[in-house]
């Protein structure tokens, strides 16, 4: 057809420039021949389509699409999340002394990976680098060996010399997405690997992210290896977004190392047992505007320091170095997010949320119990927040409170002053995120934590024992127990 049109243009041009009659006759004959050829091709296409179900052109198109899909599947899609931050940290200890660092400069890099060989299988991973600016001298000049002594002490030639493994695997897992579970019209997924278990629901807003990952951040914000399986029940129960997910995690592995004996990787009798976790994430309702999720779990064989070792330290002795298994713990959280309070105006882009959580210990009766108690203890926490559009950016305000025995898994929370969500007391936070370009954003954030009890950021043994600030001071550990802390962060973030 393109030939036909092109020759018609040539014919018109030839006539314009006064071609001979013989030339015109030849051109007309060629055009008629091309018309006949096009008609035959159309007839062949119709015949082939009716008899074989695919024309030659359709087959060619299908083959090209297969090649494109193959090429796309052979490549990992990369994304970059780079944050440069400066934190100003201030602590007031139980004995009234103060500690601070005016400018802690850091670089955090996430290299996000995704690979989809077909419509049902996806690989996802994150490589992470998180480091303070400059060399790490550690205890240099105090008589102690510097942290990272060796090739990493001076990082002036980090990439020009032999050094340690600086790039860590934060996430690495595969995900299978099933279209339907039998004839029930229930989409389902299953996943195994180093699962995404940080940056969960509600904690993502302070980072300027509209999306969140799997767990409820009020209870779990740590990196885990494990598995999950989910089912979307919306088509069965008729409730928007109704779903359930089973999660299994392993926090440590008790195995003898290579070359430690004749039986490599068997149970290590001199170490604590495997630490495991099992839980459910239930979504009773999610219509895009209102999202409600419930998380229930039990963690098994949690570690901590013994009461005897803690008493020795408080008496002026050495700090404990050996952990013991101290018991199990249950957790429950219910978080609800309202994304938009009206159909238009500033309230349409306003987010508000509330979350309630509870923890309950089950001590095994040894080494002084859990959180310094041989009895089962219940802790509670609540967390509320709002985010509103402001001058082209987003302003957020949050508050959370925790009781005496409150104990979540929020060690991975991104606050240099410690986990605000683990506080046994009160925490306030205000932040402002401003997008400069599609890829670059700026943030100012201030977090203030006021502790009623000690042990908020410790493990699960006697080290997590709650003492009032006055009790800690009276026990002679006032210089190690935090009364108040704050973190002012200014950061720039590139994400694409």
**pLDDT for 373-409, tens place per residue?**
999 999 999 999 999 999 999 999 999 999 999 999 9
Using the Cα atoms of residue 108, residue 409, residue 279 and residue 283 in order, give the sign of their dihedral.
Answer: negative
Residues 23 and 107 in one domain: no
Q: Does 65 reside within a domain? A: no
Residues 140 and 28 in one domain: no
pLDDT of residue 99: 96
Residues 131 and 54 in one domain: no
pLDDT of residue 165: 47
**Each residue's pLDDT tens digit, 194-237:** 999 889 999 999 988 989 988 899 999 988 899 999 999 999 99
Using the Cα atoms of residue 364, residue 370, residue 375 and residue 377 in order, give the sign of their dihedral.
Answer: negative
Residues 115 and 172 in one domain: yes
Kindly tell me if the per-residue pLDDT of 435 is higher than 50. Answer: yes
**Each residue's pLDDT tens digit, 463-478:** 999 999 999 998 888 8
Residue scoring higher pLDDT (40 or 332) = 332
Report residue 220 CA to chain centroid gap: 11
Q: Does 289 reside within a domain? A: yes
Residues 96 and 131 in one domain: yes
Q: What is the mean pLDDT of residues 7-32?
A: 53
b/e per residue, 361-371, with b = 16+ CB within 10 A? bbbeeebbbbb
Q: What is the mean pLDDT of residues 425-441?
A: 97
Write phi, then psi, for 78 (nearest 5 degrees).
Answer: -105, 145
Q: Does 116 reside within a domain? A: yes
Q: Which of 12, 29, 58 is the last residue of a domain?
A: 58
Of 111-125, 138-152, 243-257, the one with minimum mean pLDDT is: 138-152
Kindly tell me if the per-residue pLDDT of 32 is higher than 80. Answer: no
3-state DSSP assignment of residue 65: helix
**Pairing between strand 393-402 and 425-435?**
antiparallel
What proportion of the chain, given as a percentage, has pLDDT over 90?
A: 60
Kindly tell me if the per-residue pLDDT of 67 is higher than 70. Answer: no
Q: Does 67 reside within a domain? A: no
Question: Please, what is the Cα angle at 409 between 404 and 411, to 5 degrees?
Answer: 105
Residue scoring higher pLDDT (338 or 252) = 338
Residue scoring higher pLDDT (142 or 340) = 340
How does DSSP classify residue 256?
P
pLDDT of residue 13: 44
pLDDT of residue 155: 59
pLDDT of residue 121: 94
Q: Partners of 386 in the beta sheet? A: 352, 397
pLDDT of residue 54: 54
pLDDT of residue 268: 83
pLDDT of residue 51: 46
Q: Please tell me the pTM assigned to this model.
A: 0.81
What proportion of the chain, given as a percentage, has pLDDT over 70?
A: 81
Residues 20 and 93 in one domain: no
Q: Does 68 reside within a domain? A: no
pLDDT of residue 41: 67
Confidence label for 33 from pLDDT (cuts 50, 70 and 90) = confident
Residues 165 and 286 in one domain: yes
pLDDT of residue 5: 44
Q: Does 208 reside within a domain? A: yes
Q: Domain span at residue 46?
A: 2-58
pLDDT of residue 11: 43
Residues 343 and 480 in one domain: yes
Residues 45 and 151 in one domain: no
Kindly tell me if the per-residue pLDDT of 9 is higher than 60. Answer: no
Round to whole Å and give the CA distance between 247 and 125. Answer: 18
Chain mean pLDDT for the chain: 85
pLDDT of residue 216: 94
Round to whole Å and give the CA distance between 378 and 207. Answer: 31
Kindly tell me if the per-residue pLDDT of 45 is higher than 60. Answer: no
Q: Does 296 reside within a domain? A: yes
Of 124-138, 270-284, 313-327, 470-484, the one with minimum mean pLDDT is: 124-138
How does DSSP classify residue 463?
G
pLDDT of residue 162: 55
Do 114 and 127 contact (CB within 8 A), yes or no? Answer: no
Using the Cα atoms of residue 149, residue 152, residue 157 and residue 162 in order, give the sign of their dihedral.
Answer: positive
Of 40-49, 306-315, 412-421, 465-474, the one with minimum mean pLDDT is: 40-49
**Each residue's pLDDT tens digit, 235-250:** 999 999 999 999 999 9
Residues 6 or more apart in contact with residue 387 via CB below 8 angstroms? 205, 350, 351, 352, 394, 395, 396
pLDDT of residue 10: 43
Residues 431 and 405 in one domain: yes
Residues 367 and 417 in one domain: yes
Q: What is the mean pLDDT of residues 82-103?
A: 95
Residue scoring higher pLDDT (353 or 266) = 353
Q: Which two tokens stand for residue 331?
A: 């957790």
Residues 6 or more apart in contact with residue 238 via CB below 8 angstroms? none
Residues 242 and 336 in one domain: yes
Q: Map tokens 């630490």 to a residue.
A: 275
- Torsion angle in degrees (nearest 10) through CA of 364, 369, 371, 375: 80
pLDDT of residue 451: 97
Of 52-61, 303-312, 450-459, the one with minimum mean pLDDT is: 52-61
Q: What is the mean pLDDT of residues 414-435?
A: 95
Round to whole Å and give the CA distance between 467 and 214. Answer: 33
Domain count, the chain: 2
The CATH number that applies at residue 437 is 2.40.160.10
């Amino acid at each position: 057809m393109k030939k036909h049109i092109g020759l018609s243009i040539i014919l018109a041009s030839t006539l314009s420039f006064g071609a001979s009659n013989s030339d015109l006759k030849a051109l007309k004959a060629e055009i008629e021949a091309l018309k006949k050829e096009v008609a035959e091709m159309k007839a062949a296409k119709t015949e082939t389509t009716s008899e074989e179900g695919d024309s030659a052109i359709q087959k060619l198109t299908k083959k090209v699409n297969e090649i494109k899909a193959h090429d796309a599947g052979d490549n990992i899609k990369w994304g970059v999340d780079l944050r440069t931050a400066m934190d100003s940290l201030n602590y007031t200890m139980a004995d009234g002394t103060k500690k601070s660092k005016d400018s802690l400069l850091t670089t955090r890099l996430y290299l996000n990976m995704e690979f989809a060989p077909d419509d049902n299988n996806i690989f996802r991973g994150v490589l992470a680098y998180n480091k303070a600016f400059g060399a790490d001298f550690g205890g240099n000049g105090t008589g102690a060996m510097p942290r990272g002594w060796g090739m990493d002490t001076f990082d002036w030639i980090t990439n020009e010399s032999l050094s340690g493994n600086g790039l860590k695997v934060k996430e690495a897992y595969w995900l299978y997405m099933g279209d339907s579970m039998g004839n029930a019209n229930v989409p389902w997924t299953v996943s195994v690997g180093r699962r995404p278990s940080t940056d969960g629901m509600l904690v993502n807003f302070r980072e300027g992210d509209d999306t969140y990952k799997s767990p409820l951040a009020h209870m779990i914000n740590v990196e885990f290896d494990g598995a999950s399986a989910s089912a979307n029940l919306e088509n069965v129960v008729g409730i928007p977004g109704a779903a359930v997910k089973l999660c299994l995690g392993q926090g440590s592995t008790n195995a003898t190392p290579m070359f430690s004996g004749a039986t490599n990787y068997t149970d290590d009798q001199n170490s604590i047992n495997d630490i495991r976790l099992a839980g459910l994430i239930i979504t009773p309702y999610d219509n895009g505007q209102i999202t409600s999720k419930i998380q229930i779990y039990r963690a098994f064989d949690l570690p901590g320091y013994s009461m005897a070792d803690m008493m020795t330290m408080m008496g002026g002795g050495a700090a404990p170095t050996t952990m013991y298994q101290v018991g199990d713990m249950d957790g429950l959280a219910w978080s609800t997010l309202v994304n938009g309070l009206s159909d238009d105006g500033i309230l349409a882009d306003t987010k508000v949320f509330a979350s309630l959580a509870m923890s309950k210990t089950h001590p095994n009766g040894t080494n002084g119990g859990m959180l310094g108690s041989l009895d089962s203890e219940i802790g509670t926490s609540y967390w509320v927040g709002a985010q509103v559009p402001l001058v082209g950016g987003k302003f957020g305000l949050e508050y959370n409170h925790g009781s005496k025995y409150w104990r979540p898994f929020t060690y991975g929370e991104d606050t240099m002053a410690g986990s605000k969500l683990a506080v046994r007391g009160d925490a306030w936070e205000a932040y402002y995120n401003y997008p400069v370009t599609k890829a670059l954003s700026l943030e100012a954030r201030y977090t203030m934590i006021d502790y009623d009890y000690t042990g908020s950021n410790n493990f699960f043994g006697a080290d997590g024992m709650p003492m009032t600030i006055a009790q800690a001071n009276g026990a002679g550990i006032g210089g190690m127990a935090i009364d108040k802390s704050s973190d002012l962060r200014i950061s720039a973030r590139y994400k694409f």
